[in-house]
Structure 1
Amino acid sequence: MNRPARALAVTTLVVSAAILPVAPAPADVLPAATIPTGAQSLEPVNLPGWFVQHSDRLGRLGTVTSGSSAQAKSDATFTVVSGLASPSCYSFQATNGLFLRHRDYRVRLEGNTGTAEFRGDATFCPATGSVTGSVSLVSFNFPNRRLRHRNLELWLDPNQDTAEFRADSSFRLTAPWTPKTTKGPVIPGLFADPHITNFNGRYYLYPTTDGYASWSAPHYKAFSSTDLVNWTDHGVILNHGPDVSWADNSAWAPAVVAKNGRHYLYFSGGAASGNTAKQLGVAVSDSPTGPFRDALGTPLIRAGAYSGQAIDPMVFTDDNGQSYLYWGNGAAHVVPLNPDMISFNPAAVRTITTSGFREAAFVLKRNGTYYFMWSEGDTRDENYQVAYATGPSPLGPWTKRGVVLQKRLSLGIKGTGHHSVVKAPGTDTWHVAYHRFAVPAGNGTNREVTIDRMAFDADGTIATIVPTL
């Protein structure tokens, strides 16, 4: 992930070289929870039986019935995801992986380029609709305009205080015409680098927010589940802009651990100006769902202090209670953490780079054996994969065992990597969370998070992980 990044300011939207002010939201904009994420279809309130569709990559209305073709039903199905430009708003992703966005006020379907302009164009904030149970969709970057059907086409039109406009710009979210039939992604939307863990019998997932050019996302979200299937979105838990003085972008690869009755979030961050190199920080909260506050006010590990890039932190706590911090891109490092979990002895840092190591270190222990896992290759490459080694201690020495997770082209699964592992409490059942290119139209900045089983053979080696849809 060693590429330059650009941040989206809190009060401005960057469009090409210009800065476009973001006007205050209309008074009737609703709380984010009013629109459920996941697969949905959108029906205008004044044209029952018609639905928002895409045809020739243009947004329009079309009739859909139980007897309609599979293609027509698919064209009328969208996944509602966290807004590409704001986590309090929404974006709409078609089954082909493209997003509804406005351009020249015409609504069309296009691939996410990750630019601030695209993210703003593809983000809509919910407002009260003209009838109970309906919503009106307000443009994120043109808050005086709303999604409206006109002559059966979708446009972004100036808000008008008329009954006709209110009806034309109001939609009901209905059951999807093409129901979701696969288990992944486990959380709707673009996310990557997932850290999965279990606190007090509940699973928690902390991913990188994806879909940003140069991976410049400014914030982290948290999700939780009791069954690894149904996940609750707890919203933003740390925002680099207001919450971290030394970083405003590149919110990458978080890891969270519980200790001392508190929760510690280790994270990567970069700045839009000044020192743009990535650095590691640590934040603390009394709750696994935040809000977290920067514990130090300065980086825990500064850029250039050790070889490689200071990203991808991970904490492993051994049976004796000692916690170890791992990190690195290009070189892997480890150091025992002090009991306060926010400091360490620099003289104790060790480099443990293994053959093929690129990034995303992860350590676990099973039956007295330590497993050191990592990702190989480039996250933008479909060949991105996970390998591992075993050793007698958290510090190694490590013996490489091979690759255990890689692409599965027969299912269109590419770029499987940056994983984490969790054990179901009280069992020997293990699961691995990882990201892949979003199916079907993803790439290195349009990735999604999924979870599969991870098993061990009788000799203690990790069985090949089979990626599934």
Structure 2
Amino acid sequence: MPLLRPGRKPVARAMTVILGASVVTVVATQPAHAAEIPAGARSLQSVNMAGSYLRHTDYLGGIAAVGPTSSAQAKSDATFTVTPGLAGGTGCVSFQAANGMWLRHRDYRIRLEANAGTATFLADATFCVRDGSVSGSVRLESTNYPGRFLRHRDSELWLDAPTTNPTTFAADSSFRVTTPWVAGRRSPVIKGLYADPNIAHLNGRYYLYPTTDGYNGWNGSRFTAFSSTDLVNWTHHGTILDLGPQISWADDRAWAPTIAYRNNRYYFYFSAATSIGVATSSSPTGPFTDPLGRPLVPAGFRSGQMIDPHVFTDTDGQSYLYWGNGSAYAVRLNADMVSFDLGQVRAFSLPNYREAAFVFRRNNTYYLTYSVDDTRSENYHVEYATGTSPFGPWNHHGTILSKNLNLGIKGPGHQSVVQAPGSDTWYMAYHRFAIPAGNGTNREVTIDQLRFNADGTIQPVTPTL
């Protein structure tokens, strides 16, 4: 039986059926349920109160009439971003409002609250999708109170057992998933709260490895992965590394991962408990295991925080590890990718450097991009320097990505860069404050094109919605 972090409850799960343009019939030994609601912006209409939609008012969940002539606020309140369940689980989802808060139950009342990051909150905000009372509808079962479903009592939203008003319970707890009242933006490219994205092209696909965001104190403990062939449609691969059960030396502050490929293995470098670890797998989506049983770069190894790892592999096959908050460091990795010569660690002096060093090579120029200011500040931004080797010396060129308040874009940074295979087309992935009400712990991930001038300098990145 897998290990469970304290506070997690094992819950039996049934096989699911995919929801899409049509229903797929699955032959299974367990009863089939409707699969998770497609991720992205969605609205949910009551089955037995036509024209009434699940919405929030003054932070309390309910249902209310919404129509074409309703106010923009009413339409926004009835639109939620559906994400994979915060507590995990096949076919389970969570609902994030436009203000960055999440639907959760507390004392069985459905309300809107900020993600506290506790095991209780994650479970309270996770609902597993079941078949509804009529064809094409869904019901939402609590992940930590199996048998209790989200249902409306008149216009209020509660978590109830089917014995509560059983004659109408099935219909009271059933909803039709509809197009959202407020159209979703092109971005964020992955739905929900994520930050510090590392983008890479591996084995014919693009992959994003982000920090799972939305926790007070950035206190998440799981890493997930997403993949795409077109940078538009992303597949969520679930948890690829869970610190508590899988990492013996850390259980919190899971931040800013990066990935590298060598020796027919994938090497996943990550921040945890303000140290840097490494885990390996035969697949870019894991499962990943810890080969060291200790940090690769422990807290206190040098001045500043030992976080934000990045691995750059040069054309000769040599890989380099970069890291640091407050101070920037780099070192050649040994061929095993999980060790280095302590005496060869180098420190860089970079103007305004704060964190998130990311290096790439174009032609014969090495580019070192990095983030400036505090991620909680709307002025968080990206600057860069160029050099003639992976260790520099570095020539500073200034800012290439910053806020655009006309679009509501604040705090864009913690960047990574990928080249489209076989081309001179480049993209930058980064996070920003979630729009409209995000902050330094409620951030979202997007991607914009990275363009170069004729002399090889980088043009300012245009942040888009």
- Once the two structures are TM-superposed, the CA of residue 298 in structure 1 deviates from its matched residue by 1.7
- Out of 357, 364, 369, the residue aligned to residue 360 of structure 2 is 364
- Out of 200, 205, 229, the residue aligned to residue 203 of structure 2 is 200
Aligned counterpart, 1:405: 401
1:346 equivalenced with 2:336 (yes/no): no
- Out of 71, 74, 79, the residue aligned to residue 72 of structure 1 is 74
1:25 equivalenced with 2:8 (yes/no): no
| Residues 133-188 of structure 1: per-residue CA shift (max 9 Å, x gap) | 333223344445321101122112234383422221122222222221x2110000
1:224 equivalenced with 2:227 (yes/no): yes
Deviates most, 352-361 or 156-165? 156-165
- Out of 46, 68, 92, the residue aligned to residue 44 of structure 1 is 46
- Out of 80, 85, 99, the residue aligned to residue 83 of structure 1 is 85
Instruction: After TM superposition, list the pairs within 5 Å mapping 1:248-263 onto structure 2.
Output: 248-263=251-266
Instruction: After TM superposition, list the pairs within 5 Å mapping 1:125-274 onto structure 2.
Output: 125-160=128-163, 162-180=166-184, 182-270=185-273
The amino acid that maps onto 1:450 is T
Structure 2's unaligned 5+ residue stretches are 17-32
Is the contact between residue 87 and residue 236 of structure 1 (CA under 8 Å) also seen in structure 2? no
| Residues 331-372 of structure 1: per-residue CA shift (max 9 Å, x gap) | 111111111111111121111131211111100111211111
Aligned counterpart, 1:6: none
Structure 2 vs 1, CA of residues 70 and 138 (structure 1 numbering), >3 Å: closer, same or farther? same
Matches of 1:319 and 1:287, distance apart in 2: 22
Is the contact between residue 115 and residue 216 of structure 2 (CA under 8 Å) also seen in structure 1? no
Residue 248 of structure 1: SS of its match in structure 2?
coil
The amino acid that maps onto 1:216 is N
Residue 347 of structure 1: SS of its match in structure 2?
helix
Structure 2 vs 1, CA of residues 102 and 322 (structure 1 numbering), >3 Å: closer, same or farther? same
1:35 equivalenced with 2:21 (yes/no): no
Instruction: After TM superposition, list the pairs within 5 Å mapping 1:92-111 onto structure 2.
Output: 92-111=95-114
Matches of 1:446 and 1:176, distance apart in 2: 22
Aligned counterpart, 1:123: 126
Matches of 1:11 and 1:33, distance apart in 2: 26
Matches of 2:114 and 2:333, distance apart in 1: 43
Aligned counterpart, 1:285: 281
Residue 168 of structure 2: SS of its match in structure 1?
helix
- Scaled by the length of structure 2, the TM-score of the pair is 0.89
Instruction: After TM superposition, list the pairs within 5 Å mapping 1:447-458 onto structure 2.
Output: 447-458=443-454
Deviates most, 403-412 or 108-117? 108-117
The amino acid that maps onto 1:73 is K
Aligned counterpart, 2:21: none
- Once the two structures are TM-superposed, the CA of residue 384 in structure 1 deviates from its matched residue by 1.0
Instruction: After TM superposition, list the pairs within 5 Å mapping 1:261-340 onto structure 2.
Output: 261-270=264-273, 278-340=274-336
The amino acid that maps onto 1:411 is L
User: What is the number of equivalent residue pairs in this alignment?
Assistant: 445
Is the contact between residue 44 and residue 175 of structure 2 (CA under 8 Å) also seen in structure 1? yes
Deviates most, 144-153 or 188-197? 144-153
Residue 105 of structure 2: SS of its match in structure 1?
strand
Matches of 2:447 and 2:81, distance apart in 1: 19
- Once the two structures are TM-superposed, the CA of residue 300 in structure 1 deviates from its matched residue by 1.2
Matches of 1:345 and 1:309, distance apart in 2: 20
Matches of 1:384 and 1:32, distance apart in 2: 42
1:420 equivalenced with 2:416 (yes/no): yes
The amino acid that maps onto 1:420 is S
Deviates most, 417-426 or 119-128? 119-128
Deviates most, 64-73 or 215-224? 64-73
Aligned counterpart, 1:275: none
Structure 2 vs 1, CA of residues 26 and 286 (structure 1 numbering), >3 Å: closer, same or farther? closer
Residue 171 of structure 2: SS of its match in structure 1?
helix
Indicate the RMSD between aligned Cα atoms, in angstroms.
2.3
- Once the two structures are TM-superposed, the CA of residue 117 in structure 1 deviates from its matched residue by 5.1
The amino acid that maps onto 2:243 is H
- Scaled by the length of structure 1, the TM-score of the pair is 0.89
